[in-house]
């Protein structure tokens, strides 16, 4: 794809910082000690900048294409969208996203808080580490954003303005295709191990699954409830573990897929990734870790429900939105999350963009883990009305049986 602006690299980052007054005040270009390319996502370039004194900075630059596939054009304006959303999420959920320092709409760079003392949660889960409190922090994050950017939190006028300012059609189309369409059709993006072909055929060919996925896609495309994260998997979460003299810190990052969508999509993204983490645990014979990972679904849900309920008295129009509406809305988010969680787990074992939880397993174990994930996804799609405990008890039984 054509590109009319200079990309960052480890050599030109100091000069870039020198040319941005807001950054040069934060990091003296002459005192930079190290620049590392640390991006491990599919989309962007990410550089961590360390300085002799001070906390440094992270620079994230969007190209006009997908990082892992330069033949796939995509708007670099995703970078500006990310900055706008980060500011809104930072206001709604202080301390749960990285701080935003600078936005460069010409070279499509955002400057963010350097969180090098944090690690990506997916990696920690893969190592079998159990960070207590993170799932609850994320439930609170989704609740604060889900309330604070909604009609409930903003009132009618500001909600409409927020919605109009946050349309993100190209990134939404990626999700519509990769999560809700491609895994259910023959597509060149799909990669299926021969031993899993019958599993995928049974899952994607199930009429109940197909109807539930179709309805989930419709909800994703039309339910403009709040300015959701839009890609809240465990690789979009940074964690600093609690230790002597160190407080736990949880930050949701990478909000470029954000748009006004259904709040259950963010809860579901977490649930789907807990299922993947649990499938890995069962495949490796670590039932204890698998059970812990599945228990995170309840931790996230309970924290979400408690925080949203605590915010409810602040709602804009209590004349109409009474407590019956709260109960019914929470039930809707829960049911949505089950379907979205299934879609998010299944896409990672059928389609484009895989996850290390599954991909780093030896092939024989991977086949079983994928089978378990598809059984679990089918259950989540066809029994969405259950509460988390029984729903995820059954999910655990299905994952364990497949392993
Ligand atoms: C082009 S790859 C896009 C995927 O990576 C992101 O993390 C999202 O999950 C998206 O579906
Ligand atoms: Mg990402």
Considering only 253-267, 353-367, 389-403, which range has the smallest mean pLDDT?
Answer: 389-403
pLDDT band at 229; cut points 50, 70, 90: very high
234 confidence band (pLDDT: 50, 70, 90) = very high
269: closest CA among 189, 208, 178? 178
CA 59/CA 113 separation, integer angstroms: 9
d(Cα 335, Cα 147) in Å, to the nearest integer?
A: 18
CA distances from 355 to 67, 80, 347, 402 (A): 16, 27, 10, 19
- 340 CA → ligand 2 middle, Å: 17
According to DSSP, the residues that pair with 102 across neighbouring strands are 111
Judged against a pLDDT cut of 60, whether residue 6 lies above it is answered with: yes
With a cut of 80, say whether residue 126 has pLDDT above it: yes
Helix (H, G, I), strand (E, B) or coil at 57: strand
**Most ligand 1 atoms within 8 A of CB, residue of 174, 190, 261 to mutate:** 174
Q: Residue 340 in contact with residue 233, Cβ under 8 Å?
A: no
Confidence bin at 40 (pLDDT 50/70/90): confident
| pLDDT(173) > 60 | yes
pLDDT > 80? residue 180:
yes
Indicate the pLDDT class of residue 255, thresholds 50, 70 and 90. very high
Residues in the chain: 403
Nearest bound ligand to the CA of residue 354: 1
- Ligand 2 centre to CA of 275 (Å) is 19
Cα of 40 to ligand 2 centre, how many Å? 9
φ/ψ of 187, rounded to 5, equals -150, 145
**pLDDT for 2 beyond 90:** no
Which amino acids bring their CB within 6 angstroms of ligand 1? 41-42, 66, 174-175, 178, 231, 353
Ordered by start, the domain boundaries in the chain are 13-112, 119-402
Residue whose CA lies nearest to ligand 1 atom number 6: 42
CATH 3.60.21.10 fits 119-402, yes or no: no
| Alpha-carbon distance values, 26 to 33, 35, 36, 274, 328 (Å) | 14, 15, 18, 37, 47
CA of 43 to the centre of ligand 1 (A): 7
Atom of ligand 1 nearest to the CA of 41: 7
pLDDT band at 76; cut points 50, 70, 90: very high
The predicted structure's pLDDT at residue 94: 98
Instruction: Please report how many Cα atoms fall inside a 13 Å half-sphere around the Cα of residue 88, on the Cβ side.
Output: 31
Using alpha carbons only, give the angle 231, 341, 86 rounded to the nearest 5 degrees.
Answer: 20
Of 2.60.40.10, 3.30.200.20, 3.10.129.10, 1.20.210.10, the CATH number of 13-112 is: 3.30.200.20
The complex's ipTM?
Answer: 0.98
Rounded to 10°, the helix 388-402/263-283 angle is 30
Q: Which ranges of 127-259 would DSSP assign to H, the alpha helix?
A: 134-148, 151-154, 156-165, 169-178, 197-205, 207-222
- Asked if residue 387 has pLDDT above 80, the reply is no
The predicted structure's pLDDT at residue 388 = 67
pLDDT at 125 over 90: yes
By C-alpha distance, which of 211, 383, 170, 399 is closest to 292? 399
């Amino acid at each position: 794809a054509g590109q009319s602006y200079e990309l960052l690299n480890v050599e030109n980052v100091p000069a870039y910082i020198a040319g941005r007054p807001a950054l040069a005040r934060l990091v003296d270009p002459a005192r930079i000690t190290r620049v590392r390319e640390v991006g491990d996502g599919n989309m962007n370039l990410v550089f961590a900048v360390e300085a002799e004194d001070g906390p440094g900075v992270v620079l994230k630059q969007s190209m006009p294409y997908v990082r892992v596939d330069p033949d796939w054009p995509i708007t670099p304006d995703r970078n500006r969208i990310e900055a706008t959303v980060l500011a809104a999420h930072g206001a709604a959920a202080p301390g749960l996203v990285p701080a935003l320092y600078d936005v460069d709409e010409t070279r499509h760079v955002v400057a963010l808080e350097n969180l090098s003392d944090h690690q990506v949660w997916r990696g920690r889960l893969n190592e079998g580490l159990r960070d207590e409190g993170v799932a609850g922090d994320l439930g609170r994050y989704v609740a604060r954003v889900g309330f604070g950017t909604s009609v409930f939190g903003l009132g009618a006028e500001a909600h409409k303005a927020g919605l109009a300012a946050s349309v993100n059609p190209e990134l939404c189309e990626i999700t519509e295709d990769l999560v809700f369409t491609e895994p259910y059709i023959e597509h060149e993006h799909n990669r299926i191990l021969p031993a899993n072909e019958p599993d995928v055929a049974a899952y994607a060919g199930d009429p109940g699954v197909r109807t539930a996925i179709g309805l989930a896609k419709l909800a994703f495309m039309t339910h403009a409830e709040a300015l959701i994260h839009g890609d809240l998997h465990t690789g979009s979460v940074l964690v600093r573990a609690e230790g002597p003299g160190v407080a736990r810190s949880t930050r949701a990052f990478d909000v470029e897929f954000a748009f006004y969508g259904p709040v259950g999509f963010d809860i579901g993204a977490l649930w789907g990734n807990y299922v993947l983490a649990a499938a890995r645990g069962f495949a490796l014979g670590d039932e204890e870790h698998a059970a812990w990972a599945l228990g995170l679904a309840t931790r996230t849900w309970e924290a979400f429900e408690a925080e949203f309920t605590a915010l409810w008295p602040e709602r804009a129009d209590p004349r109409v939105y009474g407590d019956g509406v709260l109960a019914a809305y929470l039930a809707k988010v829960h049911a949505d999350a089950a379907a979205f969680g299934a879609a998010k787990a299944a896409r990672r074992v059928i389609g484009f963009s895989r996850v290390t939880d599954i991909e780093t397993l030896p092939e024989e174990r991977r086949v079983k883990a994928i089978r378990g994930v598809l059984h679990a996804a089918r259950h989540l799609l066809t029994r969405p009305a259950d509460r988390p405990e029984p729903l995820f008890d059954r999910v655990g039984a299905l994952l364990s049986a497949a392993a």
